[in-house]
Amino acid sequence: MTVGVVVFPGSNCDRDLAWALEGILEIPCKFLWHANKDLEGAKAIVLPGGFSYGDYLRCGALARFAPLLEEVRKFAEAGGPVLGICNGFQILTEMGLLPGALTRNRDLHFICEPCNLVIGQSKSQFIADYQPNKIINLPIAHGEGRYFCNSDTHELLEQNNQVLLRYQANPNGSVGNIAGISNKAGNVVGMMPHPERACDPQLGGTDGQQLLRALVG
């Protein structure tokens, strides 16, 4: 079970992910260059954090047109597990694989801090190993992480239990304290917090391990 980590020009969490996956969790992974058109047999895909294509125009707006992402779209639509972290979440919303958008933080600051998060009720495989309502701690690091959607979409997200993670104390003004959501089927997940930065016990926490393990079921 190999996990594919997509690399865009400007990605900067791709190597952290590889370290967390291979170095700590012993899950094989390979880097997939954005300009290729081949998922190289990966059984799960991660879109890492960073500033793909410089985040010009809007975060994730240009990455959406990367040739590899057409393959990622097919893979996701066929039910394959896809996780977008931070910039990866922004890209998934720009692609339309997840509803809503990530906008400028309420207080304009880039926020880089550990955050308490409440696990949602979702049936998604990504949080199957966590108890609902359990509180975990993961770091966030973003300037544009304020989740926004209209009230109809928000209602649907809640009805379908698509909210996977909520901020305990809302740092950025996100609608409904939302920090991470899935699509309706649960196989496509986006989140602003960084589970890959909470895998190594020497770095202050391991609450992200189960989220990454869930990539390979």
Partner 1 sequence: MQLRPSVLDPAGEATRAAAQRLGVAGLRQLRIGKMVEMELEAATIEAARSEVELLSDRLLANPVTENWTLALEQCE
User: What are 135's strand-pairing partners?
Assistant: 118
- Side chain identity, residue 190: G
Q: State the nearest-atom distance from the C-beta of 103 to partner 1, in Å.
A: 6
Out of 94, 149, 194, 199, which one is annotated catalytic?
194
Is 86 one of the catalytic residues? yes
Out of 29, 142, 196, 199, which one is annotated catalytic?
196
Q: State the nearest-atom distance from the C-beta of 198 to partner 1, in Å.
A: 28
Widest CA span in the chain: 43
Torsion, CA 209, CA 211, CA 216, CA 217, rounded to 10: 110
User: CB-wise, 34 or 197, nearer to partner 1?
Assistant: 34
Is 112 one of the catalytic residues? no
Q: State the nearest-atom distance from the C-beta of 104 to partner 1, in Å.
A: 5
Dihedral sign, CA of 125, 128, 130, 134?
positive
Q: Is 194 helix (H, G, I), strand (E, B) or coil?
A: coil
Nearest to 52 by CA among 124, 144, 138, 128: 144
User: CB-wise, 59 or 138, nearer to partner 1?
Assistant: 59
Q: Which two tokens stand for residue 59?
A: 């975060």
Q: State the nearest-atom distance from the C-beta of 48 to partner 1, in Å.
A: 21
Which residues are CB-neighbours of 65 under 8 A, at least 6 positions away? none
Is 34 one of the catalytic residues? no
Out of 13, 86, 115, 199, which one is annotated catalytic?
86
User: Contact positions toward partner 1, by CB under 8 A?
Assistant: 57-58, 61, 65, 93-94, 99-101, 103-108, 146, 148-150, 173
User: CB-wise, 183 or 209, nearer to partner 1?
Assistant: 183
DSSP characters over 13-77: SHHHHHIIIIIIS---EEEEETT----TT-SEEEE-SB-GGGG-SSTTTTGGG-HHHHHHHHHHH
User: CB-wise, 78 or 108, nearer to partner 1?
Assistant: 108
- Cβ atoms of 79 and 185 within 8 Å: the answer is yes
User: CB-wise, 121 or 150, nearer to partner 1?
Assistant: 150
Q: State the nearest-atom distance from the C-beta of 69 to partner 1, in Å.
A: 14
- Catalytic positions, please? 86, 194, 196
